[in-house]
Structure formats: structure tokens, C-alpha cells
Amino acid sequence: MPCGNCSYCSKGHDDLCEDFFAYNRAKGTLYDGETRLFLHSSGKPVYMYSMGGLAEYCVVPANGLTILPKSLPYTESAILGCAVFTAYGAMANAAEVRPGDSIAVIGIGGVGSSCLQIARAFGASDIIAVDVQDEKLQKAKIFGATHAINAAKEDAVGKIMTFLQCVQSVKDGGKAVMIGLAQSGSVGEVDINRLVRRKIQIIGSYGGRARQDLPKVVRLAETGVFDLTNAVSRKYTFEESNDAFQDLNKGNIVGRAVIEIM
């Protein structure tokens, strides 16, 4: 939810919004320094990251919104604002995928499976899915993968995929785009000479750019390029929320799951 006014937003880099980190991430508030959530029992304010997960209603700055066409399924469209949005930012803004490019997506979860669909939409030729679960790799072929590698059974780049091996898998002049977050303080090693001599780019991607990218993501779904129905593999009721998080933690969810509030 970009503020639209800081130095980064003014340059179109909504994903680096200074006010977002200063107000929402650091303090758990919206841009007026206040929260809109309060405990029923005491009236005490509740501070939280972002706007309202597992809430029936939430207050959202206009810069973080776009209109959902009536032609799109209401429940399944929930993933457009997170898994698909994050994948679009990585494919369009960081990797800059072009027709004929070859890409590998390591980890075929909610974001990874979305990356496959978007890479296909952008015209990538070889789309390689890498994971350690055969079920996810089978699903990956539906999402657009042309090749699938189980890193637990085959050596994708030597041994089990790590940050270093991901970088090593990139061809000369290629890009390694890091999307997933690691434990705080985690450090990755890089062969500096190869980085320099082979012109390897290592790029971090933290979501998309709401004002520019969110309408584009919706249009991809509206035209059928992005398959929302297949992307959502399971739905939970609100009462099953805890089960949903447990399944997510265990890696039992293939693609994406949605908790239906209403």
C-alpha cells in the first residue's frame, strides 16, 4: 500500500515506499499514525502489519486498490493481491522476462506456481520448475512448466538448492532473482570472480508496484492468461483457519489456499 508521496513512490518504486516501512511495518498503523482495529472487550487498539488479514472488512489507502471485474471469481481472486502480485513484480520488474527467455523457478509454492504462469504469459520458452515434492511438480506442468526437476532425487545444480547454487545455475549474463524471505540474519555466499567476469546479476524482489502492477495483474486474470481456478487448490472456512496455517507450515498445500471469511 504505497503512500504515493515519498521519494521512492515519486519515482514509481512503490515496492520501496518509505512511509510503508516507517508507519505500517515499524508501528503497525496506517499513514495517519492510527490503527482502525480495536479489541471489543477493552477498546484497546490493535497494531498489525498490513491492513486486515482474516478480517471481514479493512481500511485500505486508495493507492493500494484496484477494481475487481465482475467476470472474475470473488474468492479465488484473493490471491491476486499477494501470491500473483509478488510473482508479477519478480517476473516483470526484476527478472524482466522477455519472449524466448529461459527461466527456472525454485520452489513451486503459491508464489512459485504464479511465477510459472506469468513467465508463460510473457513468452518464456524453457520454463523449469524445481521442487522436492512430485505432486507440486506435476501441478507445475499445468501452470506452464516445460521441464520439472525434483531436487531431492536429481542434482539440479549439484546438491540441494541453496542461495549459492541458485546463483551458480544462472548462465553468463543472466539474473538470479531472490523472492522468498529467509530467517533474519541469514547470509548467502557468492563467487565474486564469477559474478564479475560472467556479468551475473543478483536481484532482490519484494512484491510488485501497486499503482502500476495491480491493474495489470487483474487484466491477466480477466483475459484468462492467468488461471485462478487451478491456482487455488483448497478453500477453508474461517473456523478452519488454524488448520490452514498448519497445512501451510507442513507444506501440504499445492498451489494456493484461500480462507473464506463470508
* pLDDT of res. 101: 96
* pLDDT of res. 178: 92
98-137: pLDDT as tens digits = 999 999 999 898 899 999 999 999 999 999 999 888 999 9
The three cell numbers of residue 119 are 513467465
Q: What is the mean pLDDT of residues 18-41?
A: 92
Q: How many Cβ atoms sit within 10 Å of the Cβ of residue 165?
A: 16
The fold for domain 83-204 equals Rossmann fold (3.40.50)
Q: What is the domain partition of the chain in residue ranges?
A: 7-65, 83-204, 210-259
